[in-house]
């Protein structure tokens, strides 16, 4: 049995060919991991109402993941409806910087305004049918 004394004799390829292959493999893995690690979020076209948005809808906001979205919903359920967007600062994970990033995509509609608009819509719909 003969002993291989060179790199290509041991591995069957030159060192530079193996290095090129390893670099290509690493680049492929990097692109795959970025594709799965940070899917591109598309913020909502219309601002979300903090008093009615679900946790799933809140996750569309930049910088808001599942745990912060759940914290927003939990806060709303425990403390009642939001009166101002700035109240988000009371939630752990919402910093001033994060608030400024999401501010264009959120709004607060007071609950009584919702009821009034629903009543107006019902009345308009009823008159249109009659």
Confidence of residue 35 (pLDDT cuts 50, 70, 90): very low
Q: Are residues 13 and 67 in the same domain?
A: no
pTM of the model: 0.58
Q: Are residues 66 and 108 in the same domain?
A: yes
**In DSSP terms, which residues pair with 48 in a beta bridge?**
106
Please tell me whether residue 110 adopts helix, strand or coil conformation: coil
Task: Look at residue 43 and tell me if it is in a domain.
Answer: no
**Rounded CA Rg of the chain:** 27
Task: Look at residue 63 and tell me if it is in a domain.
Answer: yes
Greater pLDDT, 23 or 89: 89
Task: Look at residue 76 and tell me if it is in a domain.
Answer: yes
Task: Look at residue 13 and tell me if it is in a domain.
Answer: yes
Lowest mean pLDDT among 37-46, 81-90, 113-122: 113-122
Task: Look at residue 66 and tell me if it is in a domain.
Answer: yes
**In DSSP terms, which residues pair with 49 in a beta bridge?**
107
| 107: CATH | 1.10.150.320
Number of domains into which the chain is organized: 2
Overall residue count recorded for the chain in this entry: 130
Residue range(s) defining the domain that contains residue 28: 7-37
Task: Look at residue 2 and tell me if it is in a domain.
Answer: no
Q: Which long-range contacts (CB under 8 A, 24 or more apart) does 74-78 make?
A: 76/50, 76/51
Q: Are residues 33 and 81 in the same domain?
A: no
Q: What is the pLDDT of residue 64?
A: 96
**In DSSP terms, which residues pair with 106 in a beta bridge?**
48
Q: How far apart are CA 14 and CA 43, in angstroms?
A: 50
Q: What is the pLDDT of residue 24?
A: 55
């Amino acid at each position: 049995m003969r002993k291989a004394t060179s790199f290509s004799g041991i591995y069957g390829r030159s060192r530079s060919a193996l290095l090129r292959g390893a670099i290509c493999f690493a680049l492929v893995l990097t692109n795959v991991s970025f594709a799965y690690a940070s899917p591109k979020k598309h913020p909502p076209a219309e601002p979300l109402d903090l008093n009615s948005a679900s946790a799933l809808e809140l996750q569309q906001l930049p910088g808001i993941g599942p745990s912060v979205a759940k914290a927003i919903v939990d806060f709303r359920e425990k403390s009642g409806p939001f009166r101002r967007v700035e109240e988000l600062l009371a939630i752990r994970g919402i910093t001033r910087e994060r608030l400024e990033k999401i501010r264009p995509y959120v709004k607060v509609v007071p609950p009584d305004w919702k009821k009034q608009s629903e009543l107006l819509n019902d009345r308009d719909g009823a008159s249109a049918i009659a």
